Chain A
Amino acid sequence: MATEAMEQLARREYKQGFVTDIESDTVPPGLDESVIAFISQKKGEPQWMLDWRLEAYHQWLKMTSPSWAHLDYPPIDYQAISYFSAPKKPEDRPQSLDEVDPKLLETYEKLGIPLHERAALAGVAVDAVFDSVSVTTTFREKLAEAGVIFCSISEAIREYPELVRQHLGTVVPQGDNYFAALNSAVFTDGSFVYIPEGVTCPMELSTYFRINAANTGQFERTLIVCDKRAQVSYLEGCTAPQRDENQLHAAVVELVALEDAYIKYSTVQNWYPGDEDGKGGIYNFVTKRGDCRGDRSRISWTQVETGSAITWKYPSCLLRGNESKGEFYSVAVTNGRQQADTGTKMIHIGKDTSSTIVSKGIAAGKSNQSYRGLVKVSPRATGSRNFTQCDSLLIGDKCGAHTFPYQEIGNSRSTIEHEATTSKIGDDQLFYCKSRGISEEDAVSMIVNGFCKDVFQELPMEFAVEAEALLSVTLEGSVG
């Protein structure tokens, strides 16, 4: 899917007209009110938006950076970051593929990414970096027919201010957490989706079509609103490892599902994990939350996480509507020196709400990962149900996996089921496969894919195939 789309893209002409708001002005590193005002002005935002950002900024100033038991990273200097992410100056980027980590290029090759696309993904200064904005136009026509809005968040603030204002921050408030507050103050990129009442979005929406893969934003903000009886399937990310000069990524994703609406949000995250020593890897601190606001609404998160030096994310569901449903299907793979702290929160507020959590963690090399899950059932959410399945698979003996399930059950008329397993790919299992003629790497990927199949079957078809290939590449050389 990705390859085809990119090839289609490459055949298209680069259209200057669509890039008006990314002139190469840059603000000096550091954050204060004037920087926020500059961003807001650059984006041509109305006053309310600036006020909202400043409010977030003031909350952020009063907060302290969280510390977690199972993540270990040097403190981030927020005054050293430049908050208006103007395009990288060509001279600051690798000048050719020769300057890029050869391991990264090898991976592109194994994933079958075409040559012309590799340079862009690796952040090489190429003259004609195709901007996906041009592709949008084609898709937009089809979407417009259905009444679907799919555009950048900046554009939405200008073109659909009332829709944005009505929903922005209603799921993840400005002061929700340290990174969400920072994001609210300074976000510059991200997507906006609105599906009108009764409409099933005619195609799967993918950020791949919208954002230039080489320059995904550092502080992205995504807002998806599904009106009554509307449906959408949204895909985020791509399987190619993406490089970025920005080490810190703090995105916010808000989903709003009204009565009988269904939002399926799938992510394949493969940020650059750094070189062998973890150098240059991305810190990925994301706040993703879905609000099942209407009765019988449903939100489903599916994610495959393989990249980043450090990942911290808990896609969550607020089950406010009666009989609403939340789902979380996750595969997290860590190798090398990666660290991941992921999980989900299911907050049951409406009556007869249900949630399903299937989390599969795979740790190899010297990596560490934790699953943290909170299932909270409020006193009035009677008749609620949760099923949690949380499995870890260890490859080798230098890695670790930890599970922290939390439950707060406020009434006695709800059912909660929790199952957890930890297993290891045993030498015996590998020997058995090899003694049948299967290579060690194929054996590992066969066992790992078997372990993940409950989650993979939730992914859109093409994504699932890519995800399988991605897992094999990620775990390559993890045994022996």
Chain B
Amino acid sequence: MLEIKDLHATVEGNEILKGITLSIKPGEVHAIMGPNGAGKSTLSAVLAGRDGYEVTQGTITFDGKDLMEMEVEERAQAGLLMGFQYPVEIPGVKNIYLLKSALNAQRAARGLDEMPAPEFMKLIKEKIAFMKMDSSFLHRAVNEGFSGGEKKRNEILQMLVLQPKLALLDEIDSGLDIDAMKVVAEGVNSLRDENRAILMVTHYQRLLDHITPDQVHVLIDGRIAKSGDRHLAEELEARGYEWVIEEPAA
């Protein structure tokens, strides 16, 4: 589904990603861990198509298509959806309105008609209940005045409504209390099926207790220094990153 080959990327002339190769197949969950400043958010920004990140070498294909040739909204329409580490506030725009516009924009791109209002309302009610969010959040402005944890839940709510093929989750667990962590994890798990994949960035084993990854990668200084199964995460939790840096790359 997602093939990253020898990806190099710069930000304002500084090379941050220094040759990343990663392959994600449908049905898989991959976790990326690594020290602060390693380039984890940079990788998700490059995948989502944020301005200011220049790919200088390598290729990314998504569902067989060259991702670098696609506009930001086209990537989303093709099913690649990013959950933000710091979701932005959009005053004046109701949350429900954003959801509806996004859903219908994606449907239009796939040649579908707008979802009829009653069907949409039913869908939203079901998903917001699943995320244990109060329905008043639908009528508040997007992320405006939301607490850190509420913003994260809201990101997952969008995922549940938009049903991406590949969900990119950047530190979706940060700032969550214990109960919220469970709710968010359940939300993510409900997205899992044989046709979808998830790429998530996290610092903590905790999240991986709830969402079991198929593979764990350690990103250090713009490169994947080590990959393994979920036990690698446990080892990292116990030993930190130093030993990975010292070991020669696998």
A residues sitting closer than 8 Å to B (CB atoms) are 423, 426-429, 431-440, 442, 446-447, 449-451, 453
Contacts and interface: CB of A to CB of B under 8 A. Distances in A.
Contact of A423 (B50, B91, B98, B109): B91
Q: Which among A433, A437, A439, A453 has the greatest number of chain B C-beta atoms within 10 A?
A: A437
B106 interface: yes
Given A431-B50, A432-B88, A446 B93 contact: yes
B73 A440 contact: yes
7 contacts: A432-B84, A433-B101, A437-B77, A438-B105, A442-B105, A447-B92, A450-B97
A235 B121 CA distance: 35
A435 B81 contact: yes
B98 A436 contact: yes
A423 B82 CA distance: 25
Given A427-B51, A442-B101, A435 B93 contact: no
A440 B73 CA distance: 8
B92 A429 contact: no
Nearest to A452: B92
Contacts of A426: 88
Given A434-B76, A436-B162, A446-B101, A429 B141 contact: no
Given A432-B84, A437-B162, A446-B98, A453 B92 contact: yes
Interface string B73-105: 101110001101001101111100110011001
Interface residues of B, number: 31
Given A427-B51, A436-B76, A437-B162, 9 more contacts: A428-B88, A431-B72, A434-B72, A435-B72, A437-B109, A446-B97, A450-B90, A450-B97, A451-B91
Interface in B160-185: 162
A429 B94 CA distance: 14
Contact of B158 (A427, A434, A436, A440): A436
B191 interface: no
A198 to B, nearest CB: 40
A435 B101 contact: no
Nearest to A423: B91
B48 interface: yes
Nearest to A451: B92
A436 B157 CA distance: 12
B49 interface: yes
Contacts of B97: 446, 450
B239 to A, nearest CB: 35
B49 to A, nearest CB: 7
Contacts of B50: 431
A436 B81 contact: yes
B102 A437 contact: yes
Nearest to B71: A434
Interface in B32-73: 48-51, 71-73
Contacts of B93: 446-447, 450
A331 to B, nearest CB: 12
B51 A431 contact: yes
Contacts of A436: 73, 76, 81, 98, 101-102, 105, 158, 162
Contacts of B106: 437
B90 to A, nearest CB: 5
B157 to A, nearest CB: 12
A458 to B, nearest CB: 16
Contacts of A431: 50-51, 72, 88
B129 to A, nearest CB: 21
Given A435-B48, A439-B105, A429 B72 contact: no
